[in-house]
Chain A
Amino acid sequence: MSIFTKTTGQAVAQNRPMPRVWKTPTSRACWLWLSFSLLLYLVIFALYLAAIKTQAFPGPFNQPLLSFGIVAFVLVLATGTYSLRRRFARGLPGKAQDWLWMHTWIGIVALLIALLHENFTHILNNYCQNLSCFGNAYWGTGALLALAALVFTGIIGRLLDRWQAHTIARDANTNGVGIARAIEERILELEYEIERLAAGKTEPFKAYCLQALDAGADTSIRVPLLDAREMPDFQRASQTLQTRQQFVLSLQRQQRARFIIRTWRSIHISVSCLALVIITFHAVMELLTNVFHILHI
């Protein structure tokens, strides 16, 4: 198929949804951890309902809501073990994807349980008047909001992963060579071909090729006046330059998608480090003061 028909075909293909016939199976761990998380939340929620029915002023300093906070903290730590599996202790059992599903569902349910722990005070009531409320209860408010931001960035990240991965997949399926690595090799081959075609030619020919290589999609480069003997090679070079440009655009699309994926992951990791510090501070201080009564402040 020539590049010209492929251009039109590509445009059509880009607009048409990519057929998805073959699918890699979703791990069973996804459903197992989802079930576990739902079950855990339902149990905690049942206890919460019992508490608000039987207690006059249920709050995070009284049982069972206090225990919900401890549960939420444990779940946050469990969620963080994904980083261990991913980076430090790769020999741990289970597939990385199973740990990611655990990380995802446990993380979401940790936030939900944290909201139960503080009885939805900070999202339903007009409790936080200014930024100083962040420091209340040993940065409890800050911990909750940090956890919310963490879960939010995580969910957005997963959705972005899917979206951008699909962008890359569609591009790889239609560009004729595949993923970014293959495109880079192909661009290199085309550039070699252009160099070979330009070798031994007149200066205008070479200048045009160099300009076209540098200009990219800019079509304002004037076609030089060439000898008739150079025209066949010039036509081939022009076609090759157009083909190269198509691949350059495809590479840029894929690299942009990867950039989005990686950037959002960096944001999520940065937020997670901060959130972990705040949540751990709040949890440790609350444990030391209000649970174990070791500190009397």
Chain B
Amino acid sequence: MQKMPSRKQAPVVGIEHRPDLRPLTEDEVRFEVDMCIGCDRCMNACPVPMSSLVHIADLNRATISDEISPLVARFTDECVMCGSCVPVCPVDNHRDLLMLSLKQRLGVSWDGSVDMNRLLDYLPPGWNLSLLVSRLREQPMFSDPQIVPENYLLHMVTTSKMLSLLPGSVLVREGEYGRSMYFLLEGHCELTSVGSDGTVLPVAVLRRGEYLGEQGMLTGQQRNATARARTACVVLEVPEQVMQRLMELVPAVRRFFGQLNNARSIESLLGRMALFQGIAAADLYRIAEETQVRQYDRDERLFSEDGPGGPLRESMHIILEGFVKVARRTTAGTGHHKSDERIIAYRQGGDYFAGGLDLLGDGRAVTVTTITRARVAEIPRRTLLALLERYPEVNQRFTMRLQQYRDAASAASTGIFDPLVLSRTEVADPSQEAEARAGLRSLVGGGVVEGTEVLVIDLDKCIHCNECEEACARRHGHSRMNRKGMVVGNISIATACRQCQDPVCMLCSRAGIARLPSGEVYITESCIGCGICAERCPYDNISIMTLEDEVNAPDTWQRFSNFFTKGSGKERGHRSLPILHSSAAPGPLNTRPSSNGYDELRKKVAIKCDLCAGYDNQACVQSCPTGAAIRVQPTTFFGSTEDILRRREQ
């Protein structure tokens, strides 16, 4: 029996989407390789374009021996661990875990040599390698060579873009979306922001050794300032995928940016909250430093109203981003989905809970669970107590608010009404209230309010002619939307990408899914259809198309009848998805040139609505004969959660 080479414990990168992976032991690896019957179904199912060049025998040999061909090494590096190979295996092998073991043995490509030719091509005139490294070391997160080896920096540079800016050039614009980071290696950059009255306000001047764009890189939010070169600048533009790779390899870099971002978010939010008005900036900064920020995934519990999951009294939870649902225990079987919990409210970024109490509601203990991905700041008890002691007015505001809600709740014990609106005395119709809450639950619980551009269909106008879907198919080769969806009142939320504020689908190491500066989330030329984004989308708005799904060319009669049904104008029905017949572009982390044309042909591709980016209108909205289909911003169309409840009660 061949002895397996000893495994290095190298970190494996690019598997954030598979937190449940458990590496196989040596015996398990050997067993699974022995079980493999060499049918190649896993390679056929693999979306990586070069999988068609790799034979399963070579892969198995590489897994259990030192005979690793360059092709297998490259394939291992490009494997995105999507898991497509697992369900097709007739012997139930875990080919993804076998690839994981191979990745662990081969290590990260960034541990290897740097393509010096490529690197030297990147350098501006007059620059050399040592100057480049010294300038990078001036950045605070790269300053320690023990923490960030030079090799990593050089790999980062070869996968990034060196920009030489003339004075006056705009680097980033306020309000645009972007996830790249920019490191200033030479020159000065000024940051400006547009005030509420439209005037351009200076914010800061960045110098050599400083950086910008970290908030966009971490959170995907819009740029909050415009950066313009004041002098001639040399800037290193690092794509988000490259930064994520670096942060995976060097956790200290992730901590650096994480702490910075968290502190800024908290400071900014606290400064806007009425409860914390009057607090000195230095104290806000100290609170931000001492506050812990936690990231929660969907359907994760923050705290319970009772039991061990409950928060300490006088601690404070502030929602920085995301939506949560607030529930309270009720009689078993009478709650949401026949559970013993009744949802009483929804909260979003900027809302808070003190000591587990719903201070924006009735002030009583609640159980809070996330609906979307959320970031929550937890101010520790001692910090909060110190603040309340130092600022009696803040303490007074807390106390008053709590008392106000308790008084309102006790006065409302005979009726159902919004305790915030004390002037209302009539009792609302419970059935209408239930219907309003059901609608609200659908909108918030279904994640509709998370979107920025939601396709809604007014069913009172829709005549179900399917023109919207057919128009989408004519324009893009395959329909990217589906009329079927959640129905709230007379509005149907169609199944089409909602361009979420915080798109959880944008986790692609190949940058196969990206966001335009104007906000449209689109599928790029790098997409290989691995399906990771489709799995992550909580609303099933991303589909994966394979080459086999393509319809054969229509016969003569079909073409004749298509003339009348699909038209002959500018938007004649495409016969196939154009992107499926083009090569897959390399991702930002892939710097190796392809050996031949075959390893770039994609087998699958993701398709999703991108608001018809590149066109001057949206096909679905344009083609609807009754105007039933429109794109809306949920908070504008449906209103805030409080508005929805109040409106339905009127």
Which residues on A are within 8 Å of B, measured CB to CB? Answer: 18-27, 86-92, 95-97, 99-100, 161-162, 164-166, 168-169, 172-173, 178-182, 185, 258, 261
Contacts of B492 in A (CB 8 A): 172, 178-179
B647 contact from A21, A162, A165, A168, Cβ within 8 A: A21
Closest to A169 in B: B459
Looking across the interface, which residue of chain B has its beta carbon closest to that of A21?
B489
Q: Does B627 contact A (CB under 8 A)?
A: yes
Can you list the 7 inter-chain pairs with the closest CB atoms, starting with the nearest?
A91-B570, A169-B459, A97-B627, A24-B458, A91-B569, A89-B569, A178-B487
Whole-angstrom distance between the Cβ of B63 and the nearest chain A Cβ: 39
Q: Tell me, rounded to whole Å, the shortest Cβ–Cβ distance linking A266 to chain B.
A: 13
Q: Which residues of A contact B628 (CB under 8 A)?
A: 24, 165
Closest to A2 in B: B338
Q: How many whole Å from A93's CB to the nearest CB in chain B?
A: 9
Q: Is the CB–CB distance between B625 and A179 below 8 Å?
A: no
A22 and B491 contact, CB distance less than 8 A: yes
Q: Decide if B630 is an interface residue (CB 8 Å cutoff).
A: yes
Enumerate 10 A-B pairs (CB-CB under 8 Å) in ascending A order. A23-B458, A24-B629, A25-B627, A95-B621, A96-B625, A99-B625, A168-B462, A172-B459, A173-B490, A182-B484
Given A89-B567, A97-B624, A178-B484, also A22-B489 (CB < 8 A): yes
Chain B residue with the shortest CB-CB distance to A98 = B627
Q: Is the CB of A26 within 8 A of B564?
A: no
Identify whether the interface residues of B are mostly helix, strand, loop, or mixed.
mixed
Q: Are B464 and A26 in contact, CB atoms less than 8 angstroms apart?
A: no
The digit string for B548-571, where 1 denotes a CB below 8 A from any CB of A, is 000000000000000011011111
Which single member of B464, B482, B623, B627 contacts A258 (CB below 8 Å)? Answer: B464
| B471 interface residue per 8 A CB criterion | yes
Closest to B571 in A: A90
User: Which residues of B from 594 to 609 have beta carbons under 8 Å from A?
Assistant: none
Q: What's the nearest-Cβ distance from chain B to residue A168, in Å?
A: 6
A-B contact count (CB 8 A): 126
Closest chain-B Cβ to A81's Cβ sits at a distance in Å of: 13
Q: Residue B256 at the A interface, CB < 8 A? A: no
Most buried by B among A92, A100, A161, A162: A161
Interface size of B by CB at 8 A reads 47
Complex CA distance for A94 and B480, rounded to whole angstroms = 22
Which A residues are in CB contact (< 8 Å) with B626? 97, 100, 161, 165
Of all chain A residues, the one with the shortest Cβ separation from B628 is A24
Given A97-B625, A172-B459, A179 and B630 touching (CB < 8 A)? no
A258 to B462, CA, bound (A): 10
Q: Is B510 an interface residue (CB 8 A)?
A: no
* B569 and A90 form a contact (CB under 8 A): yes
Q: Is B474 interfacial (CB-CB < 8 Å)?
A: yes
Contact residues in B for A90 (Cβ distance below 8 Å): 471, 474, 567, 569-571, 623
Which residue of chain B is the closest to A101 with respect to CB atoms?
B627
The smallest beta-carbon distance between A21 and chain B, in angstroms, is: 6
Could you tell me the distance between the alpha carbons of A185 and B483 in the complex, rounded to whole angstroms? 13
Chain B nearest CB: distance from A26 CB in Å? 7
Q: Report which of B460, B463, B624 forms a contact with A261, defined as CB distance below 8 A.
A: B463
Judge whether B571 and A91 touch: CB under 8 Å: yes
Contacts of B464 in A (CB 8 A): 165, 168, 179-180, 258, 261
Complex Cα–Cα for A22 and B456 (A)? 10
A20 touches B483 (CB 8 A): no
- CA A181 to CA B628, docked complex, whole Å: 18
CA of A99 to CA of B492 in the docked complex: distance in angstroms?
A: 24
Do A18 and B490 have beta carbons less than 8 Å apart? yes
Residues in A neighbouring B565, C-beta threshold 8 A: 87
In the docked arrangement, what's the CA distance between A166 and B491, Å? Answer: 11
Contact B567 A20, beta carbon cutoff 8 Å: no
Complex alpha-carbon distance, A87 and B648, angstroms? 41
Interface residues of B in 162-205 (CB under 8 A from A): none
What residue in chain B is nearest A97 (Cβ atoms)? B627
A90 to B567, CA, bound (A): 7
Q: Which of A19, A165, A172 contacts B487 (CB 8 A)?
A: A172
**Chain A residue with the shortest CB-CB distance to B570:** A91
B565 to chain A, nearest CB (A): 8
A162-B625 Cα distance, complex, nearest whole Å = 13
Residue of B at shortest CB range from A18? Answer: B490
Chain A residues lying within 8 Å of B471, measured Cβ to Cβ, are 90
Give Cα A18–Cα B638 distance, bound, in whole angstroms. 17
The interface centre, meaning the residue of B463, B621, B637, B648 with most chain A CB atoms within 10 A of its CB, is B463
Q: Does B145 contact A (CB under 8 A)?
A: no
CA distance A27 to B638 in the complex (A): 19
- The answer to whether A87 touches B564, judged by C-beta atoms less than 8 angstroms apart, is yes
Q: Are A20 and B569 in contact (CB under 8 A)?
A: no
Give residues of chain B (431-466) contacting chain A, Cβ–Cβ below 8 Å.
Answer: 432, 435, 439, 456, 458-464
